[in-house]
Structure 1
Amino acid sequence: MQNKYTFEYAIIRIVPKVEREEFFNVGVILFSKRKKFLGIKYFVNPDKLKAFSSEVTVETFNNYLQAWQQICEGNPLGGKIGAFELSDRFRWLAACRSTIVQSSKTHSGLCVNPQKELEDIFNEYVL
Protein backbone atom coordinates (compact mmCIF):
# COMPACT_ATOMS: atom_id res chain seq x y z
CA MET A 1 0.00 0.00 0.00
CA GLN A 2 2.99 2.35 0.38
CA ASN A 3 3.20 2.71 -3.41
CA LYS A 4 -0.47 3.56 -3.82
CA TYR A 5 -1.84 7.08 -3.96
CA THR A 6 -5.33 8.37 -3.31
CA PHE A 7 -7.34 9.71 -6.20
CA GLU A 8 -10.80 11.08 -6.88
CA TYR A 9 -12.77 10.86 -10.07
CA ALA A 10 -16.08 11.87 -11.59
CA ILE A 11 -17.86 10.50 -14.65
CA ILE A 12 -18.73 13.09 -17.29
CA ARG A 13 -22.27 12.83 -18.60
CA ILE A 14 -24.11 14.27 -21.56
CA VAL A 15 -27.67 15.34 -20.77
CA PRO A 16 -29.09 16.30 -24.18
CA LYS A 17 -32.46 17.36 -22.75
CA VAL A 18 -31.97 18.47 -19.17
CA GLU A 19 -35.70 18.55 -18.49
CA ARG A 20 -35.93 14.80 -19.20
CA GLU A 21 -32.94 13.99 -16.94
CA GLU A 22 -31.70 11.30 -19.34
CA PHE A 23 -27.96 11.01 -19.76
CA PHE A 24 -25.14 8.84 -21.01
CA ASN A 25 -21.49 8.68 -19.94
CA VAL A 26 -18.90 10.26 -22.20
CA GLY A 27 -15.79 10.68 -20.08
CA VAL A 28 -13.86 10.72 -16.83
CA ILE A 29 -12.01 13.38 -14.83
CA LEU A 30 -9.41 12.05 -12.40
CA PHE A 31 -7.44 13.96 -9.76
CA SER A 32 -4.58 12.77 -7.53
CA LYS A 33 -3.22 15.41 -5.18
CA ARG A 34 -0.07 13.52 -4.15
CA LYS A 35 0.83 12.67 -7.76
CA LYS A 36 -0.08 16.24 -8.88
CA PHE A 37 -2.25 14.76 -11.61
CA LEU A 38 -5.45 16.08 -13.18
CA GLY A 39 -6.58 14.30 -16.32
CA ILE A 40 -9.61 14.00 -18.51
CA LYS A 41 -10.56 11.49 -21.18
CA TYR A 42 -13.75 11.60 -23.22
CA PHE A 43 -15.49 10.30 -26.31
CA VAL A 44 -18.93 11.34 -27.54
CA ASN A 45 -20.50 8.39 -29.36
CA PRO A 46 -22.50 9.88 -32.26
CA ASP A 47 -24.90 6.91 -32.37
CA LYS A 48 -25.79 7.27 -28.70
CA LEU A 49 -26.24 11.01 -29.09
CA LYS A 50 -28.53 10.49 -32.07
CA ALA A 51 -30.64 8.07 -30.00
CA PHE A 52 -31.08 10.72 -27.30
CA SER A 53 -31.46 13.83 -29.43
CA SER A 54 -31.17 15.00 -32.99
CA GLU A 55 -31.11 18.66 -31.97
CA VAL A 56 -27.54 18.87 -30.64
CA THR A 57 -24.43 17.88 -32.59
CA VAL A 58 -21.36 15.93 -31.54
CA GLU A 59 -19.30 19.02 -32.36
CA THR A 60 -21.22 21.04 -29.77
CA PHE A 61 -20.36 18.57 -27.03
CA ASN A 62 -16.78 18.19 -28.20
CA ASN A 63 -16.40 21.99 -27.93
CA TYR A 64 -17.66 21.91 -24.33
CA LEU A 65 -15.36 19.03 -23.46
CA GLN A 66 -12.36 20.63 -25.14
CA ALA A 67 -12.90 23.62 -22.84
CA TRP A 68 -12.91 21.21 -19.87
CA GLN A 69 -9.65 19.72 -21.17
CA GLN A 70 -8.09 23.20 -21.40
CA ILE A 71 -9.04 23.75 -17.75
CA CYS A 72 -7.54 20.39 -16.72
CA GLU A 73 -4.29 21.21 -18.48
CA GLY A 74 -4.09 24.67 -16.91
CA ASN A 75 -3.95 26.11 -20.41
CA PRO A 76 -4.51 29.89 -20.69
CA LEU A 77 -7.38 29.06 -23.06
CA GLY A 78 -9.08 27.59 -19.97
CA GLY A 79 -9.65 31.15 -18.76
CA LYS A 80 -9.49 32.16 -15.11
CA ILE A 81 -10.53 28.70 -13.96
CA GLY A 82 -7.60 27.19 -15.85
CA ALA A 83 -5.28 29.27 -13.66
CA PHE A 84 -6.61 27.74 -10.42
CA GLU A 85 -4.65 25.10 -8.51
CA LEU A 86 -5.21 21.47 -9.58
CA SER A 87 -7.57 20.68 -6.71
CA ASP A 88 -9.69 23.77 -7.35
CA ARG A 89 -9.91 23.00 -11.07
CA PHE A 90 -11.07 19.47 -10.28
CA ARG A 91 -13.67 20.72 -7.79
CA TRP A 92 -14.98 23.26 -10.31
CA LEU A 93 -15.29 20.63 -13.07
CA ALA A 94 -16.87 18.06 -10.76
CA ALA A 95 -19.33 20.53 -9.21
CA CYS A 96 -23.04 19.86 -9.50
CA ARG A 97 -24.61 21.71 -12.45
CA SER A 98 -27.79 21.60 -14.47
CA THR A 99 -26.36 22.04 -17.96
CA ILE A 100 -26.11 19.64 -20.89
CA VAL A 101 -22.63 18.56 -19.71
CA GLN A 102 -22.58 17.32 -16.11
CA SER A 103 -20.47 15.16 -13.85
CA SER A 104 -21.37 12.45 -11.38
CA LYS A 105 -20.70 12.66 -7.69
CA THR A 106 -17.03 12.18 -6.95
CA HIS A 107 -15.65 8.77 -6.05
CA SER A 108 -12.30 7.89 -4.52
CA GLY A 109 -9.77 5.09 -4.65
CA LEU A 110 -6.13 4.07 -4.50
CA CYS A 111 -3.82 3.64 -7.46
CA VAL A 112 -0.19 3.37 -8.48
CA ASN A 113 -0.51 5.19 -11.80
CA PRO A 114 -3.25 7.85 -12.16
CA GLN A 115 -3.04 7.88 -15.97
CA LYS A 116 -3.61 4.12 -16.12
CA GLU A 117 -6.46 4.42 -13.61
CA LEU A 118 -8.05 7.12 -15.80
CA GLU A 119 -7.85 4.78 -18.80
CA ASP A 120 -9.28 1.84 -16.82
CA ILE A 121 -12.23 3.83 -15.46
CA PHE A 122 -12.90 5.28 -18.91
CA ASN A 123 -12.92 1.80 -20.47
CA GLU A 124 -15.25 0.47 -17.77
CA TYR A 125 -17.81 3.29 -17.56
CA VAL A 126 -17.73 4.96 -20.97
CA LEU A 127 -16.80 2.42 -23.65
Structure 2
Amino acid sequence: MHAPHTYDYAIVRVVPRVERGEFVNVGVIVSCHAQRHLAARIELDAARLRALAPGIDVQFVADALAAIPRICAGGREAGPLGALTLRERFHWLTAPRSTVVQTSPVHSGQCRNLDQAMEHLLTTMVRVDGGAA
Protein backbone atom coordinates (compact mmCIF):
# COMPACT_ATOMS: atom_id res chain seq x y z
CA MET A 1 0.00 0.00 0.00
CA HIS A 2 1.21 3.50 -0.80
CA ALA A 3 2.24 5.92 1.93
CA PRO A 4 -0.13 8.83 2.49
CA HIS A 5 0.45 12.06 0.57
CA THR A 6 0.52 15.39 2.35
CA TYR A 7 -1.53 17.96 0.48
CA ASP A 8 -2.66 21.55 0.88
CA TYR A 9 -6.13 22.77 0.08
CA ALA A 10 -8.30 25.87 0.13
CA ILE A 11 -12.03 26.29 -0.18
CA VAL A 12 -13.18 28.64 -2.95
CA ARG A 13 -15.78 31.15 -1.78
CA VAL A 14 -18.06 33.70 -3.38
CA VAL A 15 -18.37 36.81 -1.24
CA PRO A 16 -21.08 38.94 -2.90
CA ARG A 17 -20.66 41.92 -0.57
CA VAL A 18 -17.14 41.95 0.79
CA GLU A 19 -18.03 44.50 3.47
CA ARG A 20 -20.55 42.04 4.99
CA GLY A 21 -18.21 39.06 5.03
CA GLU A 22 -20.96 36.60 4.07
CA PHE A 23 -20.00 33.89 1.61
CA VAL A 24 -21.02 30.69 -0.15
CA ASN A 25 -18.48 27.87 -0.53
CA VAL A 26 -18.34 26.94 -4.22
CA GLY A 27 -15.25 24.82 -4.79
CA VAL A 28 -11.96 23.32 -3.69
CA ILE A 29 -8.34 23.71 -4.78
CA VAL A 30 -6.00 20.81 -3.90
CA SER A 31 -2.21 20.88 -4.26
CA CYS A 32 0.29 18.09 -3.61
CA HIS A 33 3.87 19.04 -4.41
CA ALA A 34 5.21 15.47 -4.10
CA GLN A 35 2.68 14.20 -6.67
CA ARG A 36 2.98 17.28 -8.94
CA HIS A 37 -0.76 17.74 -8.50
CA LEU A 38 -2.78 20.95 -8.64
CA ALA A 39 -6.49 20.76 -9.38
CA ALA A 40 -9.72 22.56 -8.61
CA ARG A 41 -13.36 21.66 -8.83
CA ILE A 42 -16.09 24.25 -8.79
CA GLU A 43 -19.74 23.54 -7.99
CA LEU A 44 -21.60 26.83 -8.08
CA ASP A 45 -25.10 26.57 -6.60
CA ALA A 46 -26.76 29.58 -8.25
CA ALA A 47 -29.88 29.31 -6.07
CA ARG A 48 -27.84 29.49 -2.85
CA LEU A 49 -25.88 32.42 -4.20
CA ARG A 50 -29.04 34.29 -5.21
CA ALA A 51 -30.53 33.64 -1.75
CA LEU A 52 -27.56 35.48 -0.24
CA ALA A 53 -27.36 38.16 -2.95
CA PRO A 54 -30.54 38.42 -5.04
CA GLY A 55 -29.10 40.94 -7.52
CA ILE A 56 -25.79 39.21 -8.19
CA ASP A 57 -24.64 38.62 -11.76
CA VAL A 58 -24.33 34.82 -11.58
CA GLN A 59 -22.81 34.57 -15.08
CA PHE A 60 -20.04 37.02 -14.12
CA VAL A 61 -19.28 34.92 -11.03
CA ALA A 62 -19.38 31.66 -13.03
CA ASP A 63 -16.95 33.09 -15.59
CA ALA A 64 -14.55 34.19 -12.84
CA LEU A 65 -14.75 30.76 -11.17
CA ALA A 66 -14.10 28.97 -14.47
CA ALA A 67 -10.62 30.50 -14.56
CA ILE A 68 -9.55 28.64 -11.42
CA PRO A 69 -9.39 25.09 -12.88
CA ARG A 70 -7.70 26.52 -16.01
CA ILE A 71 -5.01 28.17 -13.88
CA CYS A 72 -4.52 24.91 -11.98
CA ALA A 73 -4.04 23.03 -15.26
CA GLY A 74 -1.51 25.58 -16.48
CA GLY A 75 -0.39 26.03 -20.05
CA ARG A 76 -1.61 28.48 -22.67
CA GLU A 77 -5.27 28.22 -21.66
CA ALA A 78 -4.35 29.81 -18.33
CA GLY A 79 -2.73 32.86 -19.91
CA PRO A 80 0.46 34.26 -18.34
CA LEU A 81 -0.28 32.47 -15.05
CA GLY A 82 -0.07 29.14 -16.87
CA ALA A 83 3.71 29.55 -17.18
CA LEU A 84 4.18 29.62 -13.39
CA THR A 85 5.18 26.50 -11.46
CA LEU A 86 2.50 24.44 -9.69
CA ARG A 87 3.50 25.91 -6.33
CA GLU A 88 3.46 29.47 -7.70
CA ARG A 89 0.01 28.95 -9.24
CA PHE A 90 -1.35 27.53 -5.97
CA HIS A 91 0.03 30.47 -3.99
CA TRP A 92 -1.36 32.97 -6.51
CA LEU A 93 -4.81 31.34 -6.36
CA THR A 94 -4.89 31.24 -2.56
CA ALA A 95 -3.44 34.70 -1.88
CA PRO A 96 -5.75 36.84 0.28
CA ARG A 97 -8.03 39.16 -1.73
CA SER A 98 -10.90 41.56 -1.19
CA THR A 99 -12.90 40.50 -4.23
CA VAL A 100 -16.07 38.56 -4.92
CA VAL A 101 -14.08 35.33 -5.48
CA GLN A 102 -11.85 34.44 -2.53
CA THR A 103 -10.33 31.37 -0.89
CA SER A 104 -10.22 30.20 2.68
CA PRO A 105 -6.92 30.04 4.52
CA VAL A 106 -4.78 27.13 3.31
CA HIS A 107 -5.09 23.90 5.28
CA SER A 108 -3.15 20.64 5.08
CA GLY A 109 -4.22 17.03 5.06
CA GLN A 110 -3.00 13.54 4.28
CA CYS A 111 -4.54 10.99 1.97
CA ARG A 112 -3.71 8.02 -0.21
CA ASN A 113 -5.87 9.22 -3.11
CA LEU A 114 -6.01 12.91 -4.06
CA ASP A 115 -9.20 12.54 -6.12
CA GLN A 116 -10.97 10.98 -3.14
CA ALA A 117 -9.67 13.73 -0.87
CA MET A 118 -11.09 16.37 -3.22
CA GLU A 119 -14.44 14.58 -3.38
CA HIS A 120 -14.53 14.41 0.44
CA LEU A 121 -13.79 18.13 0.70
CA LEU A 122 -16.51 18.97 -1.82
CA THR A 123 -19.02 16.82 0.05
CA THR A 124 -18.23 18.20 3.49
CA MET A 125 -17.39 21.83 2.69
CA VAL A 126 -19.28 22.81 -0.49
CA ARG A 127 -22.36 20.71 -1.06
CA VAL A 128 -25.51 21.68 0.80
CA ASP A 129 -26.16 18.30 2.40
CA GLY A 130 -22.57 18.33 3.69
CA GLY A 131 -22.47 14.57 3.77
CA ALA A 132 -25.29 14.44 6.33
CA ALA A 133 -26.27 10.93 7.25
SS of 2:34 mapped into structure 1: coil
Map 1:46-85; keep pairs closer than 5 Å: 46-85=46-85
SS of 2:63 mapped into structure 1: helix
1:2 deviates by 5.8
1:107 deviates by 0.3
1:7 is matched with 7
Deviates more, 1:72-81 or 1:20-29: 72-81
CA RMSD in angstroms, aligned pairs only: 1.3
Instruction: Provide Cα deviations, 1:74-125, integer angstroms capped at 9, x if missing partner.
Output: 0312111121110110011011000000000000011111111111111110
User: In structure 2, how many angstroms separate the alpha carbons of the residues matched to 1:45 and 1:57?
Assistant: 13
Q: Which runs of 5+ in 1 are unaligned?
A: none
Deviates more, 1:52-61 or 1:30-39: 52-61
User: In structure 1, how many angstroms separate the alpha carbons of the residues matched to 2:66 and 2:30?
Assistant: 16
Kindly indicate whether the alpha-carbon contact (under 8 Å) linking 1:94 and 1:105 is maintained by their aligned counterparts in 2: yes
| TM-score between the two structures when normalised by the length of structure 1 | 0.94
Map 1:20-35; keep pairs closer than 5 Å: 20-35=20-35
Kindly indicate whether the alpha-carbon contact (under 8 Å) linking 1:7 and 1:31 is maintained by their aligned counterparts in 2: yes
Instruction: Letter of the 1:47 partner, please give it.
Output: A
User: In structure 1, how many angstroms separate the alpha carbons of the residues matched to 2:97 and 2:78?
Assistant: 18
SS of 1:20 mapped into structure 2: coil
Percent identity reads 39
User: In structure 1, how many angstroms separate the alpha carbons of the residues matched to 2:36 and 2:89?
Assistant: 12
Deviates more, 1:2-11 or 1:91-100: 2-11
Q: Which runs of 5+ in 2 are unaligned?
A: 128-133
User: In structure 2, how many angstroms separate the alpha carbons of the residues matched to 1:22 and 1:60?
Assistant: 18
Q: How many correspondences in the alignment?
A: 127
Instruction: Letter of the 1:85 partner, please give it.
Output: T
Instruction: Letter of the 2:5 partner, please give it.
Output: Y
